[in-house]
Amino acid sequence: MKNINYFKTKKIFHFILPVVVFIYTVPVSAASLSLEAALSNMVKLHPLVKIKSLEQESAVYELNKAESQLGWYLNGGTGASHDLSSFGTPTDKANAGLGLEKTFGFGGRVNLDGSYVYQDSDFTISPQIPNPSASTNFDLKYIHPLGRGSGNPLYQTGVKDAKANQIISDANWQENRDELSKQIIDLFFGLAKTDAQIANTDLAIKRAKLLKAYTNKNIKLGVSEKKDILQAEARLQSSIADKRSLKVIRERQHIALNRVSAFPWNLRAKLVTKITINNNKQQEFDDLFGVVKNNSWRLKRSNANITIAESIIEKSRDLNRDDINLTLSAGSRNRNGKVTDGNFNQSDYAAGIQLEYRRALDRQGLEGELTQAQINKSIGYQEIEAVTLDLGYQLSTLLAEIQETKRSLARSKKRLQAENKKLDEATERYRNGRADTSELLQFERDLRLAEFTVTNKQLELKRMSARFDLLTGNLWQRINSSYQTVVGQNK
């Protein structure tokens, strides 16, 4: 019965399995791939992330457009004409004008204007009227809104809206990145579990081959029966079939992971599953919840939408006010030309003050826009409440699942020890002819299941820890601090 010693080797395989590096034939390469590398490559190359990045760049220019409202504006014009004057005299005219205008953040507006007019008539009604003549005027005007436009809400809200749209654009980018990250995490550890099943099946195949060889030898010695070899052969073929099915599943998972990670479709890499297991407790919920809310793109977007609604409310209220403008002006006038008895040159200053008033009689449209904005603001607050509640459930669920999986893993390890002892005892009885092949195969199957259960729970803990780090933002902080984009770089 010494040939049964193959069962003694199962202990070695049992302790190797949880830390085994899965090696298999691949179409392109046998490089190693960590979760961080897959996520980093997705951010760098995935088309959907690139689109959101371009939208981020576009949102930056919205602020430039809003701030440009306070810039200087230049205007000018020139022309010539031939017409009849108010006295019916044919007159040739030429004119040129240049102006500067600037609006201030508090709503005031200043205008600087200069003009030049040259006029030449066929004859003049009075010899004291210069002909030809040239007029040069300079004006400085300051318009201060006392009603609508006071405080320049159009500019103030424009800047707020531009910054809010940047936040929304950033949140949309983060949403796209995090949703793809969730897919990658699940696919990555799903593939790792399939690799573990294949490794587990390889151990079963090796054990079945050794048992078959041992049974063959015993049949020749007249110790074993034909049913024993048939049972060993059936177990071997069953394990080989299982492995082939798992390879098909693994191929699909590889392609799915490559697609989301933006790798070539036919890349086949060894997975490196070095993830720190989360050790936070439910007692730390409040502190963790603050981190989760601060990282949430959903809350950032809802707050930005409220800011935009508030801007619309502010603009609508301003447009609903009466238009009252106070205008102060100062300038100079100069006119020169030729009169009958010589040259004419006259200069003087100009100054004035004016109050303008205007009121819209139909304000239904403004009231409707204001009401819509108020409704949108209320929706934003409801969204924040709903998102906050959902984030709390997500965090609490992850903490509970991680802690429960740890306890389950501890029990699974104890079961594995028991299964190991049980098979040792059955092996000893099998050597002495007190156990049959069916019992031994059943116990080996139980041990195989216990081995995979431990590995599976270890991988599940890592998957949940990665999802936890994604929720709190720690995952991307870690990746950004040591950016990995090259396949084959181990962490």
User: What is residue 456's predicted lDDT score, i.e. its pLDDT?
Assistant: 94
Give the whole-angstrom CA distance, residue 406 versus residue 401. 8
Q: Which residue has the higher pLDDT, 210 or 473?
A: 473
The overall average pLDDT reported for the chain is 84
DSSP letter string, 244-269:
HHHHHHHHHHHHHHHHHHT--TT---
Beta bridge partners of 81: 93
User: What is residue 193's predicted lDDT score, i.e. its pLDDT?
Assistant: 95
Please tell me the CATH code under which domain 2-63+157-306+375-481 is placed: 1.20.1600.10
Asked which of 21-30, 141-150, 233-242 is least confident by mean pLDDT, the reply is 21-30
Q: What's the Cα-to-Cα distance from 425 to each of 64, 418, 432, rounded to whole Å?
A: 79, 11, 11
Position 485 confidence tier, pLDDT thresholds 50, 70, 90: very low
Contact partners, residue 57, CB within 8 Å, separation at least 6: none
Residue 37 reports pLDDT greater than 70: yes
The gap from C-alpha 284 to its chain's centroid, in whole angstroms, comes to 27
Residue 166 reports pLDDT greater than 90: yes
Most confident of 5-9, 340-344, 427-431, 457-461: 457-461
> What is the tens place of the pLDDT at every residue in 183-192?
999 999 999 9
Preceding omega of 132 cis (within 30 degrees of 0): yes
* Number of other residues whose CB lies within 10 A of the CB of residue 141: 18
Coil, helix or strand for 264? coil
Give the whole-angstrom CA distance, residue 93 versus residue 294. 68
Residue 61 reports pLDDT greater than 90: no
Position 17 confidence tier, pLDDT thresholds 50, 70, 90: very low
Q: What's the Cα-to-Cα distance from 435 to each of 427, 446, 452, rounded to whole Å?
A: 8, 16, 25
Pick from 475, 480, 43, 45: nearest CA to 292: 475
Pick from 238, 241, 243: nearest CA to 211: 238
> What is the tens place of the pLDDT at every residue in 353-375?
999 888 877 666 667 778 888 99
Burial environment of residue 140 by CB neighbours within 10 A (0 to 12, 13 to 18, 19 or more)? middle
The domain locations on the chain are 2-63+157-306+375-481, 86-155+323-373
Asked which of 127-131, 171-175, 228-232, 239-243 is least confident by mean pLDDT, the reply is 127-131
Beta bridge partners of 338: 343
Residue 487 reports pLDDT greater than 60: no
User: What is residue 394's predicted lDDT score, i.e. its pLDDT?
Assistant: 95
User: What is residue 366's predicted lDDT score, i.e. its pLDDT?
Assistant: 65
> What is the tens place of the pLDDT at every residue in 230-289?
887 888 888 899 999 999 999 999 999 999 999 998 888 889 888 888 888 878 899 999
The gap from C-alpha 440 to its chain's centroid, in whole angstroms, comes to 54
Give the whole-angstrom CA distance, residue 187 versus residue 261. 10
User: What is residue 210's predicted lDDT score, i.e. its pLDDT?
Assistant: 80
Q: Which residue has the tokens 């826009």?
A: 369
Residue 298 reports pLDDT greater than 70: yes
User: What is residue 223's predicted lDDT score, i.e. its pLDDT?
Assistant: 54
Most confident of 226-230, 420-424, 463-467: 463-467
Q: What's the Cα-to-Cα distance from 120 to each of 96, 343, 384, rounded to whole Å?
A: 15, 15, 72
Token couple for 339:
């009169």
Position 225 confidence tier, pLDDT thresholds 50, 70, 90: low
> What is the tens place of the pLDDT at every residue in 441-461?
888 888 889 999 999 999 999
User: What is residue 221's predicted lDDT score, i.e. its pLDDT?
Assistant: 54
User: What is residue 1's predicted lDDT score, i.e. its pLDDT?
Assistant: 37
- Beta strand 72-84 pairing with 323-339: unpaired
Give the whole-angstrom CA distance, residue 46 versus residue 183. 13
The pTM score is: 0.78
Burial environment of residue 357 by CB neighbours within 10 A (0 to 12, 13 to 18, 19 or more)? exposed
Q: What's the Cα-to-Cα distance from 289 to each of 168, 220, 275, 281, 383, rounded to whole Å?
A: 22, 69, 22, 12, 17
Residue 116 reports pLDDT greater than 80: yes
For the chain, the straight-line distance linking the first and the last C-alpha, in angstroms and rounded, comes to 47
User: What is residue 428's predicted lDDT score, i.e. its pLDDT?
Assistant: 76
Token couple for 29:
């390469």
Asked which of 20-24, 96-100, 431-435, 482-486 is least confident by mean pLDDT, the reply is 20-24
> What is the tens place of the pLDDT at every residue in 184-215?
999 999 999 999 999 999 988 888 888 777 77
Pick from 49, 46, 113: nearest CA to 77: 113
